[in-house]
Amino acid sequence: MRHPDAPAPGELLGAHYGQCFGCGGDQPHGLHLEARAGEGVSLTAEFTVQPAHQGAPGLAHGGVLTSALDETLGSLNWLLRTIAVTGRLETDFVRPVPVGTTLHLEAEVTAVAGRKIYSTATGRVGGPDGPVAVRAEALFIEVKVDHFVDHGRPEEIQAAMNDPDQVRRARAFEVNP
């Protein structure tokens, strides 16, 4: 179920960290993916394929598309108010996505069992009702903030902990950085 303090439907979720390849604004070749809360435990997001994201000439790299799906699916955790990491991600590539295309993504949580969060996502071209280009199913595993402290690089962890916006977000999850 959606957490009672989750962002309201339509609200922009924002980046969880400025250097994140998926959603961070400080990442020059990142996806700069923007996600908005939907109804229930769902969201929508958009990502425009840039020249730096191509694999075959003029087409998005499959790994970049998978990253966009992973970021979108991971953003669902804001609606649960849970810290979680990707445990499994299965991606289907249905049609090519040309450079310059805006991928319209939708994701929803399908089940929660203990620390496991199951979710699904689709990416469409040509608009939110356009044909499906990519889709994914994922399993996320709830973790504590120590997971990042124990395994991340100390200088980046300290920078995130010194960022007032990151402290605000951590407190929203009842975590004391």
Residues 134 and 155 in one domain: no
Question: Could you tell me which residues come within 8 angstroms of residue 65 by beta carbon, excluding any fewer than 6 positions away?
Answer: 91, 93, 97, 103, 123, 133, 134
What confidence score (pLDDT) does residue 168 get?
43
Residues 84 and 150 in one domain: no
Residues 129 and 177 in one domain: no
Residues 98 and 165 in one domain: no
CATH of residue 8: 3.10.129.10
- What are φ and ψ of residue 72, in 5° steps? -65, -50
How far is it between the farthest Cα atoms of the chain? Answer: 46
Residues 7 and 70 in one domain: yes
Residues 152 and 138 in one domain: no
Long-range contacts of 167-173 (CB under 8 A, 24+ apart): 169/16, 170/145, 172/5, 172/81, 173/81, 173/82, 173/83
Residues 159 and 119 in one domain: no
Full domain range(s) for residue 67:
1-143
Give the chain's domain count.
2
What confidence score (pLDDT) does residue 25 get?
81
For 15-56, how does the pLDDT look when each residue is reduced to its tens digit (9 = 90+)? Answer: 777 777 777 787 788 888 899 999 999 999 999 999 999 999
What confidence score (pLDDT) does residue 164 get?
54
Residues 111 and 153 in one domain: no
Residues 84 and 94 in one domain: yes
Residues 170 and 95 in one domain: no
What confidence score (pLDDT) does residue 144 get?
76
Rounded to a whole number of angstroms, the distance between the first and last alpha carbons of the chain is 26
Kindly list the distances between the CA atom of residue 116 and the CA atoms of 23, 119, 143, in Å, as whole numbers in the listed order: 23, 10, 10
Residues 125 and 163 in one domain: no
For residue 36 the two structure tokens come to 């908005």
Where the chain has pLDDT below 70, the residues are 145-177
Residue type, 23: C
Residues 136 and 153 in one domain: no
